[in-house]
Structure 1
Amino acid sequence: MLLDGPLHGYEVRRRLEMWGADGWANVAYGSIYHGLSKMADEGLLHRVEEGRGGKTVYEITEAGRAEFMVQLMRHWWEIRPIVDPFQVALTFMDRLSPADLTAAMEARAEQLRASITMLERAIPAKRAHGAPRHIDETLRLHAAQFQAQLGWVEESIGKVRDGELP
């Protein structure tokens, strides 16, 4: 977002929240100021003005732009597994009774449905608050991933009931 012009940490945080970054990036909002300061120390950002109360304004440097492009292209070309703690639960599903496993899967299916609905509602809400159009696609991808997991969970509930799982 600093590619569009200088910002202070609070504005960076506000935009990340508006974009729903907590759903697709490992963002710890409390560490934004530290991260900005570290990037400035590394020459990726420049402190435009030092403000009081965390209002230091940063702008991206040419080195920062170059590093951004390297990271952006790397993420387009690199396929990595999605790390989800749910995969740990899958690995140990055989430790649950069929009744407990079915109950857990049904609860997960309900949570997935609610999450999908929330994401679908978030798109117009974020657009109404000025989020760029491409942010819609991150939300749509997230909803599609939840939808795929929901399909798997619903199918697996039947397999547990039929004695095919675990």
Structure 2
Amino acid sequence: MSRPLTPLALTVLRMLCDQPMHPYEMQQRIRDHCYDLAVKITHGALYHSVERLAATGLIEPVETSREGRRPERTVYAVTDAGRDAAHLRLADLLGRPAEEYPLYGTALAFVNLLPEQEAARELHRRALALEARLAGQLTAWESLRERGIERYKLLDLELAIAQVRTELEFTQGLGADLRTGRLTWKDDEDMTSCRSYPEETP
């Protein structure tokens, strides 16, 4: 493939490295193994990714079957080229930090556009949402472990939990600093506000 494998394409190849399957079965496995916590997956995108991988020779159809009045289901298997592509892409993702631009970082870069009290309120709102997300992730991790899923299959979830914990701690501390006055931008002469308007000239 001329372009790097997308996370969804890598997900498909990873599943097919275990065994051949059709896209509907892939959807079930994604839910069962919570791959959708690590990769953004939609029904249409999954089928499009399968078609694209087949068109580029990284997977191939091996069987087509029909059950009753249901549409035909094509079973796909990974090719040697697909295994090699997945191996190379995974090694690159694992070993090379990508330059990412999280939206939270963007918001923090321009936080002084908001009044301090409003910023503190929004940070508190974010902290509550992060607490709920963290609780959900911990519940999912514990459930999967109780089902006997090996830890190495849950490392992406462990990373997500660690990241949310870190962001939650940072957000709570930042909000506390604003509320107590340890952080302020009231005296920033260069501050611009989205509520300010240019002065009228006669």
Q: Which of the two has greater helix per residue?
A: 1
Equivalent residues, number: 166
2:47 is the counterpart of 1:33: yes
- 3-state secondary structure, aligned to 1:115: helix
For 2:176, which of 137, 155, 158 is the aligned residue? 158
Contact 1:18 1:131 (8 Å CA) reproduced: no
Residue matched to 1:126: 144
CA 128–10 in structure 1, closer or farther in 2 if over 3 Å, else same: farther
Residue matched to 1:114: 132
Q: What is the CA distance between 1:45 and its match in structure 2?
A: 0.4
Q: Percent sequence identity over matched residues?
A: 27
In structure 1, C-alpha distance between the alignment counterparts of 2:29 and 2:116, rounded to whole Å: 44
| Alignment gaps of 5+ in structure 1 | none
Contact 1:40 1:46 (8 Å CA) reproduced: yes
Q: What is the CA distance between 1:34 and its match in structure 2?
A: 1.4
2:57 is the counterpart of 1:5: no
Q: TM-score, normalised by structure 2?
A: 0.74
In structure 2, C-alpha distance between the alignment counterparts of 1:7 and 1:28, rounded to whole Å: 18
CA 83–54 in structure 1, closer or farther in 2 if over 3 Å, else same: farther
Aligned-pair Cα RMSD in Å: 1.9
Which moved further from structure 2: 146-155 or 15-24?
15-24
For 2:58, which of 34, 37, 44 is the aligned residue? 44
In structure 1, C-alpha distance between the alignment counterparts of 2:164 and 2:152, rounded to whole Å: 19
In structure 2, C-alpha distance between the alignment counterparts of 1:25 and 1:160, rounded to whole Å: 34
CA 58–113 in structure 1, closer or farther in 2 if over 3 Å, else same: same
In structure 2, C-alpha distance between the alignment counterparts of 1:37 and 1:137, rounded to whole Å: 28
Residue matched to 2:162: 144
Rg comparison, structure with higher value: 2
Which moved further from structure 2: 49-58 or 65-74?
49-58
Q: What is the CA distance between 1:160 and its match in structure 2?
A: 1.4
Give a deviation string over 1:15-64, Cα, whole Å, max 9, x none.
22233333322333321111111111111001012345262110000111
CA 128–7 in structure 1, closer or farther in 2 if over 3 Å, else same: farther
Contact 1:9 1:54 (8 Å CA) reproduced: no
2:90 is the counterpart of 1:76: no
In structure 2, C-alpha distance between the alignment counterparts of 1:130 and 1:29, rounded to whole Å: 27
In structure 2, C-alpha distance between the alignment counterparts of 1:132 and 1:58, rounded to whole Å: 26
